[in-house]
Chain A
């Protein structure tokens, strides 16, 4: 069942076209990654989905129902973890989580249980009486997440939740998102850290300039692009004709030697490395370390968007 369905969404900021006939479909139980450079329209699309921004054209359906600013029953099932930490500096960790839980759950006893659960979930048990300004950046991020997920939503939007956090906190956050998903929540995750998206998302959409450029699993995306396997062989001394022999292999697209290593860019194939090493052995080339790297999401991104990630 499609939890999120967006059809031909158009959003303009004055003359700037932020979303250009944007389409999106997210199935129940997915961790869906929205990947794109800054200004690509990730946050705008989420804000439109949540009815926090007006938009010019398009249809948005959440849980199969049209989403409106006053669709309070739908909003009750949604959790939002915004990009910037949005908590009250004056309230303690527990009070903050309780406040945001109270927006969704009115029953006091149930709220207390949910708050305790959220505190445990994000590992803030030792900080419940702390004010946010006393917390480190990573702990603040965890508090931000606790405030967004405390009411146990069915659909959670994470808008770049790991910006400016240390690797330990980042791993804790990503692990937490996977646990939430395992408990049944559908997750929409925006980021411009490709390794994160690669690590946790079941499907990924690459967007830029308000458009969806590609969408699918990581393997789908890799298959979409022509970038292939990268092979590096440490071989300082090459007998004459070796590079030519390697370059003549049908799957080799580019070859170079920098004095210490041979660099090959190959089409995707199951036996590329074995064939290359076979040629080297035939020519009695002494080689050291060998690296083989399949195409990464970064390669996909660069090929699709034609640019480096901005910012």
Chain B
């Protein structure tokens, strides 16, 4: 266990890495998580100020006009280009619906023949939830009207409008029911875990790379290889030390998270939290494999830190730590799918899913993919190690290359 002990000693003689990468970054994750509000929102949807310009004047257009004005705060706007512009610019109306001339007739014709439905014009002052909601209601109104037009072929337009108004008047009663088993999960804890993906990757990668590189220096390698300790034993002891470092980092992040967010996840079932932390453990394995790869490539600490930091930042960006993936383009999301952080996020979201989290098949599948990423990176590290040994002509007990002993 001499190598194992020396590896851990070497690691603990770098307290600055522990302080910066493990403690400070984890604390940053806590602050980020705490900035999220888990309490139910007191905000309610305000209805927009709406205006309707009916250039058609038929029963369907009038019915639509009445419906829209009924859904929001009605505002009168003259049907002129200047007036419409002023209304939008001065935010007199946030949603203006313009029904073009002949719309009702075109609507009936299109419904009867199956042709493309005519469109109404919409002018909005700013895209907000209430405006989006209003737009959606208009689409729904026209969709219902079309259904009645098709279904009641002989019905008059007034009858279609009446039935549509009746249908649109129906609402579903919705209420939030809090159950004892699965209360709403903490968004703060989720954000914390997302950020800790960055912390874990960076801290484990740098710390394990430092340890691995210490033993990987050519002279050190030769000195140890000349000793009676089998190379396999040396490698296993180094691996065990790195594993301990990985588990220590993971445990620290977990304990810190549980302490900081204990109140917010107090009612969450234990398997749900355990699954989320297991996902973090899988991601830690990727960090370890990445550290092994970096440790094989260089023994320069500056380069190790640079590579780990840059990779950590890029991967974290692709994982949505800095900007939500919902706000980035499809190409970025596609690229993110080739990184383990995407599946790590998938795993923790599935694990903390209020609709049934824990060790679900989705969570486990994502964890499995993260582990596969770790395996691939580890194999690349092994290949680099083998190539280096081959170039030096070094007999490397950890590689598959065997010494070709003519005398043997």
Contacts of A95 in B (CB 8 A): 6, 9
Residues 1-22 of B, flagged 1 when their CB comes within 8 A of A and 0 if not, give 0110110011001100000000
Q: Which residue of A lies closest to B229 (CB)?
A: A103
Contact of A88 among B10, B226, B408 (CB under 8 A): B10
Q: Do B222 and A82 have beta carbons less than 8 Å apart?
A: yes
Q: Which residue of A lies closest to B6 (CB)?
A: A99
Shortest C-beta distance, A209 to chain B (Å), equals 17
Q: Do A90 and B214 have beta carbons less than 8 Å apart?
A: yes
Supposing A90-B13, A103-B227 touch, asked if A47 and B222 sit within 8 A by C-beta, the answer is: yes
B228 on interface, CB distance cutoff 8 Å: yes
Interface-located stretch among B138-146, B259-267, B390-398:
B390-398
Interface-located stretch among B117-125, B330-338, B399-407:
B399-407
Q: Do A70 and B230 have beta carbons less than 8 Å apart?
A: yes
Contacts of A120 in B (CB 8 A): none
Q: Do A54 and B393 have beta carbons less than 8 Å apart?
A: yes
Of residues A11, A52, A66, which shows the largest number of chain B Cβ atoms within 10 Å of its Cβ? A52
Supposing A73-B228, A75-B228, A88-B10 touch, asked if A52 and B222 sit within 8 A by C-beta, the answer is: yes
B116 on interface, CB distance cutoff 8 Å: no
Contacts of B407 in A (CB 8 A): 58-60, 66
Shortest C-beta distance, B85 to chain A (Å), equals 71
Q: CA separation between A104 and B228, bound complex, in Å?
A: 6
B217 on interface, CB distance cutoff 8 Å: yes
B225 on interface, CB distance cutoff 8 Å: yes
Q: Which residue of B lies closest to A99 (CB)?
A: B6
Residues 71-111 of A, flagged 1 when their CB comes within 8 A of B and 0 if not, give 01101101010111110101100010001101110000000
B224 on interface, CB distance cutoff 8 Å: yes
A-B contact pairs, 25 of them (CB 8 A): A52-B222, A52-B225, A52-B395, A53-B392, A53-B393, A54-B393, A54-B401, A56-B404, A57-B406, A58-B407, A68-B408, A69-B397, A75-B226, A75-B228, A82-B219, A82-B222, A86-B222, A86-B223, A88-B6, A88-B220, A99-B5, A100-B223, A103-B3, A103-B227, A148-B223
Shortest C-beta distance, A205 to chain B (Å), equals 21
Q: Do A78 and B226 have beta carbons less than 8 Å apart?
A: yes
A291 on interface, CB distance cutoff 8 Å: no
Q: Do B395 and A69 have beta carbons less than 8 Å apart?
A: yes
- B350-408 interface (Cβ within 8 A of A): 392-395, 397, 401, 403-408
Q: CA separation between A111 and B178, bound complex, in Å?
A: 66
Q: Which residue of A lies closest to B1 (CB)?
A: A102
Q: CA separation between A42 and B227, bound complex, in Å?
A: 20
Q: Which residue of B lies closest to A11 (CB)?
A: B393
Contacts of A52 in B (CB 8 A): 222, 225-226, 394-395
- How many residues of chain A are within 8 Å of chain B by beta carbon? 39
Q: Do B224 and A103 have beta carbons less than 8 Å apart?
A: yes
Contacts of B3 in A (CB 8 A): 103
Shortest C-beta distance, B206 to chain A (Å), equals 15
Q: CA separation between A50 and B229, bound complex, in Å?
A: 13
State the B residues within 8 Å of A (CB): 2-3, 5-6, 9-10, 13-14, 214, 217, 219-220, 222-230, 392-395, 397, 401, 403-408
Supposing A69-B397, A86-B217, A99-B6 touch, asked if A50 and B226 sit within 8 A by C-beta, the answer is: yes
Q: Do A80 and B228 have beta carbons less than 8 Å apart?
A: no
Q: Which residue of A lies closest to B403 (CB)?
A: A54
Supposing A69-B397, A70-B230, A104-B227 touch, asked if A90 and B222 sit within 8 A by C-beta, the answer is: no
Q: CA separation between A90 and B6, bound complex, in Å?
A: 9
Shortest C-beta distance, A241 to chain B (Å), equals 63
Q: CA separation between A50 and B226, bound complex, in Å?
A: 6
Q: Which residue of A lies closest to B214 (CB)?
A: A88
Q: Do A102 and B2 have beta carbons less than 8 Å apart?
A: yes
Q: Do A80 and B226 have beta carbons less than 8 Å apart?
A: yes
Q: Do A53 and B230 have beta carbons less than 8 Å apart?
A: no
Of residues B5, B6, B9, which shows the largest number of chain A Cβ atoms within 10 Å of its Cβ? B6
Contact of B394 among A53, A83, A104 (CB under 8 A): A53
Of residues A66, A83, A86, A95, which shows the largest number of chain B Cβ atoms within 10 Å of its Cβ? A86
Shortest C-beta distance, B226 to chain A (Å), equals 5
Q: Do B223 and A80 have beta carbons less than 8 Å apart?
A: yes
Contacts of A103 in B (CB 8 A): 2-3, 224, 227-229
Q: CA separation between A53 and B390, bound complex, in Å?
A: 10
Shortest C-beta distance, B98 to chain A (Å), equals 74
Contacts of B408 in A (CB 8 A): 66, 68
Q: CA separation between A51 and B408, bound complex, in Å?
A: 13
Contacts of A148 in B (CB 8 A): 223
Q: CA separation between A60 and B408, bound complex, in Å?
A: 10
Shortest C-beta distance, A48 to chain B (Å), equals 9
Q: CA separation between A150 and B403, bound complex, in Å?
A: 29
Shortest C-beta distance, A80 to chain B (Å), equals 5
Contacts of B394 in A (CB 8 A): 52-54
